[in-house]
Amino acid sequence: MRIPPYWTRGEYTGVNPKGKEMRFTAWGWSFESISDARKDAVERANRIFNHFVLGVGPLQRYPYFEHPIREEIVETLQDGNKDIAITTRNGYGALVLNASSVMFVDVDYPEDKSGGVGGMVGRLFGGGKKKQEPDGPTQTLQRVKDWAVSNRDKSFRIYGTQAGLRLIFTDKTYDPTDNSTLMLMNSLGSDPLYVQLTLRQECFRARLTPKPWRCNFRVPPTEYPFERPGEEQQFRQWQQQYTNQIQGYATCELLDVVGSGSGNDEVRQIVDYHDRHVLRPNAPLA
């Protein structure tokens, strides 16, 4: 799982060909220490200066892992001595489960494109939620069930979200970087961006708590990592209010269970943890 625990911002000051000083900043990260993260940040700021000001050197030194997840680590789940999942808090404050081997697949409902230019512009600028085709949820669920008929060796749980379906595969564990896993996700019609994120971050992601705006709540006043005095206190106050606000909302509802599963302890632990966070009987989805 590519989720660095250490983050900081660094800066580099150089002189351009006209003799003018220029300063660049960049985020750096590390799995080892904050000092290593600071060194990485300065190196990245230096590369930005060299690339854009001097016109030398590649901008991306580590193309495979150029943009890891910059999220606060909230909890680590273990099975024995193995880390099987990391719960993080994303940029808008929701908790996200990052599973190393238990596969989550998101399948979006088809969007209704009949809303015209006004509807499209509204969605582009955040004007409300996407409008789904009237029969979209039914058709998407049937398509997944048809897929299951052709893949009887697979077992999974089907959840409904506000925008689509979420599948948790229970027949076995999966490697998020293996080509066969990515092909399986694609065959179900999973969002291509989600598939690429799965590959790049080496984990399967699933949002556990509602998006703030779907609960008539505001986004956080600041983001992790906290750089200036008072930022973390402001965030923690928001976090407590957000936690209270979302109590009457659910992230998912369980729609169906396909197959019998494998009885794998890691799978069972992830499913139980996921369901405790996302299911709220008779609550609106957010």
Coil/strand/helix, residue 129: coil
Question: Quick one: which of 89, 106, 208, 118 has its CA closest to 163?
Answer: 106
What does the alpha-carbon distance between residue 166 and residue 254 come to, in Å, rounded to a whole number? 9
| Residue 52 confidence (pLDDT) | 81
**For the chain, what is the largest distance between any 2 Cα atoms, rounded to a whole number of angstroms?**
70
User: Please, are residues 110 and 138 in contact by the beta-carbon 8 Å criterion?
Assistant: no
Q: What is the pLDDT along the chain (286 residues), one digit of tens a residue?
A: 999 999 999 999 998 888 898 899 889 989 999 999 999 889 988 888 888 888 876 655 443 345 788 999 999 999 999 999 999 999 999 999 999 999 999 999 988 765 544 443 344 334 445 566 666 789 999 999 999 999 999 999 999 999 999 999 999 999 999 999 999 999 999 999 999 999 999 999 999 999 999 999 999 999 999 988 899 999 999 999 999 999 999 999 999 999 988 889 999 999 999 999 999 999 999 9
What amino acid occupies position 269?
Q
